[in-house]
Structure 1
Amino acid sequence: MPLNRRSFLAASAAGLAAASHPSVANAADTKPKVRNPIGVSTYSFWQFKNADLRSIEKCIDLAAEMGFDAVEILHRQMTDESDGTLQKIKRHAFVNGLSLCGFSTHQGFLSASKETRQKNVDLTIKQIELAYKMGIPTMRVNTGRWETSKNFDELMKNKGIEPPTAGHTEEEGFGWAIDSLTACLKTAEKCGVTLGLENHWGLGRTPEGVLRIVDAIKSPWLQVTLDTGNFLEDPYDKLEKLAPKTVLLQTKTYYGGGTWYTLDLDYDRIAKIMRKANYKGYVSLEFEGKEDARTAVPKSLELLRKAFG
């Protein structure tokens, strides 16, 4: 069919535009790159030991000054859970241009006592409601520990491995954890807070343990919080197993050396693992080294930006 003058001019203009801008010509063949937003856990500043950096508002100020996109709040760092304080935290993040990307909590379901497990279910439900009030969309949960180690130092010496309570088995523990977390999901769905089971200690020490629980429950409201620093040996294959179900990626750095251990993590490699799994979510820094957080946290941000940005 012959071109009329108007069609010819339009086609010529489009060709010139494509020639002068190769990216336009190749747009159909170019897959957009994912830029993961980078957050920082308030734990990175406080670490249970820096009293002058315990204030959540202070941590938010530092995160904004350093150029982060978001903040993850450590529940144990909070000194006030009143509604007024929760709304002040939410507002403080907002006026600083930061999202609140996660709420890191503690609970324990590895107890033979039904009453103890119920107390931890009730605690977790309360924590979900706190996250909801602050507008936080995901919350870290864990199975808890058997508490058969003398202390945390001994647990770390044994690479996170500890035997079940006398007279009980890991098989029982999985049943307790599955039932307990299932009991929290109605509230999680009502509040719109996705729980992320972390590869932590206890039954979450291995990717198989985490997946056994998540796959048994089969709910979109229970997925995975993936911590790069909690697989102490050969981490990359293990991280890859959990990457497809990850809703928050926690990234450890150890400038100045770690307290219990130091891992030499290849974040370019980890970023590739997460991109392969189509992970588009937040990357949250958990700085765990001995260097001053005021210098180590910005270095960590630069490292993560290069890998995930």
Structure 2
Amino acid sequence: MRNLQPDRRAFLKSAVAGIPLVATAGTTLDRRSITNAGNDKSGPLRLSCNLYSFNEPLMSGQMTLEQVFTFCSELGFDAVDPTGYYFPKYPTLPDDNYVYQIKRKAFRLGLDISGTGVRNDFTLPDLTRRKAEIELVRQWTGLAARLGAPVLRVFAGTGKELPAGYNRKEVTAWVVDALRECADYAAKQGVLIVLQNHADFIRTADDILEIINQVNSEWLAVNLDIGSFKIGDPYGQIARVAPYAATWQLKENLFVDGRETETDLNRIMRIVRESGYRGYLPIETLGKGDPRQKVPVFYEKVSKALAAVSPSGSSTTTR
């Protein structure tokens, strides 16, 4: 990573003008944390940008992945997390030439690729369709390996309601079997499968920890989405799940007893540190507004919160 530290005050003033938009195409935990078993709570933490923050301009063709990479590099991010559906012809895999051009672009900008992800649903009653969803994850696991992404984000299921005629135990068994198969394949590719809690089939800490423990694979971990625990106390649930996280999604707001509230970022950073987590903290901005304005503002807030809880002398997000 570069040691060049950008002048962020100047950047914040020029962010909108800097890159023009162009029209171009209760569960009992019976085993140790599978990811963060170390006792050192002062390890390195760096910031990544989950590119869903740029969903509207990317999906409309107003910005390209290359332009978003440039924006993130100039702002000071250490990494980016481009979801699969920002690649051409998703869910069909892009050709290797495109993948390697994207990988080269990130490297030349001083960015790591901290992860990627897909849309999938393992709660479908039809076995043939579930097999197709598993195959989708397998294909994109291979792409993640070629891209140099250490994790692939997946879902349990995208629906909030159980399939008609089935109970939660039955559907959970489908999800566990699918994830176990995906994790076995991912182990051969050197890529972690990370399961995201997304307020769908997975709504609570109990929901995600039940699945993680049943799969029981060192190649399955959690993508901890702090904004998607919408029942009860999110901070308590985040703290319970944090030791199992291999990556995160930090959001501007979360839900306290179902009410949307601004995230207490200092509190989140203390949870991150206490969990022993080391690695990237992807941020994700949501809602209306130009991401070229919103992302720098949230980036600054997260950076300050991270600095506030970082032990003296430890490695943080600066580069």
* TM-score, normalised by the number of residues in structure 1: 0.79
Name which of 103, 124, 144 aligns with 1:111: 124
> Cα distance, 1:137 vs. partner?
0.3
Say if 2:44 and 2:278, in contact at 8 Å, map to a contact too.
Answer: yes
Name which of 73, 91, 98 aligns with 2:111: 98
State the partner residue of 2:20: none
Name which of 169, 172, 181 aligns with 2:170: 172
Partner AA of 1:108 in structure 2: D
Say if 1:164 and 1:170, in contact at 8 Å, map to a contact too.
Answer: yes
Tell me how far apart the structure 2 counterparts of residues 53 and 38 of structure 1 sit (CA, whole Å): 25
Structure 2 gaps, min length 5: 1-39, 254-258, 308-319
Partner AA of 1:210 in structure 2: I
Tell me how far apart the structure 2 counterparts of residues 135 and 64 of structure 1 sit (CA, whole Å): 18
How large is the RMSD of aligned CA atoms in angstroms? 1.8
Deviations 1:16-75 (A, max 9, x none): xxxxxxxxxxxxxxx884441001011111247762445211111110111111000111
State the partner residue of 2:15: none
Q: Which has the higher helix share?
A: 1
* TM-score, normalised by the number of residues in structure 2: 0.77
Say if 1:40 and 1:72, in contact at 8 Å, map to a contact too.
Answer: yes
Partner AA of 1:305 in structure 2: S
> Cα distance, 1:253 vs. partner?
2.2
> Cα distance, 1:165 vs. partner?
1.6
Say if 2:65 and 2:86, in contact at 8 Å, map to a contact too.
Answer: yes
User: Matches of residues 34-73 of structure 1 in structure 2 within 5 Å?
Assistant: 34-47=43-56, 51-73=60-82
Tell me how far apart the structure 2 counterparts of residues 125 and 266 of structure 1 sit (CA, whole Å): 37
Residue-pair matches, total: 258
Tell me how far apart the structure 1 counterparts of residues 215 and 44 of structure 2 sit (CA, whole Å): 31
Say if 1:229 and 1:263, in contact at 8 Å, map to a contact too.
Answer: no
Say if 2:123 and 2:171, in contact at 8 Å, map to a contact too.
Answer: yes
Tell me how far apart the structure 1 counterparts of residues 304 and 42 of structure 2 sit (CA, whole Å): 13
Partner AA of 2:246 in structure 1: V
Say if 2:85 and 2:118, in contact at 8 Å, map to a contact too.
Answer: yes
**Matching of residue 133 in structure 1 with residue 146 in structure 2:** yes
Deviations 1:235-291 (A, max 9, x none): 10010111001000111126xxxxxx8531101001101111101121101110322
State the partner residue of 1:186: 184
Q: Of the two, which has the highest radius of gyration?
A: 1
Tell me how far apart the structure 2 counterparts of residues 86 and 100 of structure 1 sit (CA, whole Å): 12
Say if 1:203 and 1:210, in contact at 8 Å, map to a contact too.
Answer: no
Partner AA of 2:151 in structure 1: T
**Matching of residue 231 in structure 1 with residue 232 in structure 2:** no
Tell me how far apart the structure 2 counterparts of residues 139 and 288 of structure 1 sit (CA, whole Å): 21
**Percent of pairs with identical residues:** 31
Partner AA of 1:60 in structure 2: F
Say if 2:41 and 2:276, in contact at 8 Å, map to a contact too.
Answer: no
Tell me how far apart the structure 2 counterparts of residues 303 and 113 of structure 1 sit (CA, whole Å): 45
> Cα distance, 1:296 vs. partner?
1.0
Say if 1:86 and 1:133, in contact at 8 Å, map to a contact too.
Answer: yes
Structure 1 gaps, min length 5: 1-30, 147-161, 255-260
State the partner residue of 2:299: 301
Q: 1:138 to 1:49 in 2, by over 3 A?
A: closer
Tell me how far apart the structure 2 counterparts of residues 184 and 65 of structure 1 sit (CA, whole Å): 36
**Matching of residue 252 in structure 1 with residue 237 in structure 2:** no
- Higher RCO structure, 1 or 2 (CA under 8 Å, sep 6+): 2
Q: 1:86 to 1:50 in 2, by over 3 A?
A: closer
State the partner residue of 1:85: 98
Say if 1:45 and 1:53, in contact at 8 Å, map to a contact too.
Answer: no
State the partner residue of 1:22: none
User: Matches of residues 129-168 of structure 1 in structure 2 within 5 Å?
Assistant: 129-146=142-159, 162-168=160-166
Q: 1:143 to 1:122 in 2, by over 3 A?
A: same
